[in-house]
Amino acid sequence: MTTVVRTRAALRAALDSRTRPVGLVPTMGWLHAGHRALMVRAREENATTVVTIFVNPRQFGDPSDLARYPRNEANDLAICETEGVDIVFAPSVDEVYPPGFDTVVSMGAIARPLEGAARPGHFDGVATVVAILFGLVRADRAYVGQKDAQQVAVIRRMALDLAIPTKVIACPTVREPDGLAMSSRNVHLSPDERAAAPVLHRALLAARDSWEQEERSGDALRARMRAVLATEPSADVDYVSCADAATLAELDRVPGRALLSLAVRFGSTRLIDNEPLG
Ligand code: AMP
């Protein structure tokens, strides 16, 4: 049976009767197979699994983006039950940010490029809420998706710098059969946009293919992705990137490991995806 708690106090009480280690899966709900994979891994590796469901207003720059973020708590709770989650923490905004709340985690260089440049303040919002959740749950391990590669780097950096002992574990991206990375935002795609959206993965795979054939020029790999994206007229490219895997700075040449990533709009829906190299 999954225990659902909505307050900090109830969460602490529920955790007090559970055994360690504790695995945490932070989410914004509208759960899909990508989230489920994180839950499965958390269950395999921990005595207690906690899922948090919280649409964090502080990581949305655009109020309309926040307003239209999909929500279906009943379905989310059913999924958590099926996956054998022990505790779901589904707090209100006031419970996470009580009156008088006055602290923000301000991320540095790792949060500047890519998603950070496209969405100012986004990663400070992410880091702040994750620091609170790590503090509340005191998990031994937290499971996060490689799909949000820069978010993984931000959370790791934040936990290291703030001496939070929770180990951050990145799990592979779960995809639809046609390659589209699962995302809560996919629900906003029209049928035509949905049909076009796998071009993100095709672009990444084309660049990976070039890299496997010894292409090491950052410009050439970025151009390869742009060329594939250009085959879909409805794809409005926000960025394509071939960056250092650790710093996320753009690369002229790919020496060893690297991260290919991209962000593309279809109408009003913005999708991201990435592919690690090396
Ligand atoms: P979200 O609810 O979108 O904030 O995502 C919650 C967690 O699930 C984050 O760590 C995401 O990176 C992860 N996640 C989202 N989509 C996927 C996916 N397709 N495959 C693996 N993990 C994912």
Determine whether the shortest distance from the Cβ of 184 to ligand 1 is under 6 A: yes
Phi-psi region of 260 (alpha: psi -120 to 50; beta: other; left: phi over 0): beta
Q: How far is CA 133 from CA 69, 114, 136, in A?
A: 20, 25, 5
Token pair of 44 as six digits = 């395999």
* 182 DSSP assignment: P
pLDDT for res 179: 98
**DSSP 8-state code for residue 30:** S
Give me ligand 1 centre to Cα 31, in Å.
9
Q: Which atom of ligand 1 is nearest to the CA of 181?
A: 19
Please report the pLDDT score of residue 87 as a whole number: 99
Residue with the nearest Cα to atom 19 of ligand 1? 182
Task: Provide the pLDDT for residue 191.
Answer: 98
- What pLDDT, on the 0 to 100 scale, is given for residue 226? 99
Length of the chain: 278
Distance between first and last Cα of the chain: 42
Phi, psi angle pair for 170, to nearest 5°: -90, 130
Per-residue pLDDT of the chain (278 residues; tens, 9 = 90+): 999 999 999 999 999 999 999 999 999 999 999 999 999 999 999 999 999 999 999 999 999 999 999 999 999 999 999 999 999 999 999 999 999 999 999 999 999 999 999 999 999 999 999 999 999 999 999 999 999 999 999 999 999 999 999 999 999 999 999 999 999 999 999 999 999 999 999 999 999 999 999 999 999 999 999 999 999 999 999 999 999 999 999 999 999 999 999 999 999 999 999 999 99
Structural contact between residues 180 and 204, judged by C-beta atoms closer than 8 angstroms: no
51 in contact with ligand 1, CB cutoff 6 A: no
Q: What is the pLDDT of residue 99?
A: 98
Alpha helices, DSSP H, located in the chain: 8-16, 33-45, 63-67, 73-82, 93-96, 115-118, 122-137, 149-161, 191-196, 199-212, 218-229
C-alpha 172 to ligand 1 mean position (Å):
10
Angle subtended by helix axes 73-82 and 33-45, to nearest 10:
40
pTM passes above 0.75:
yes
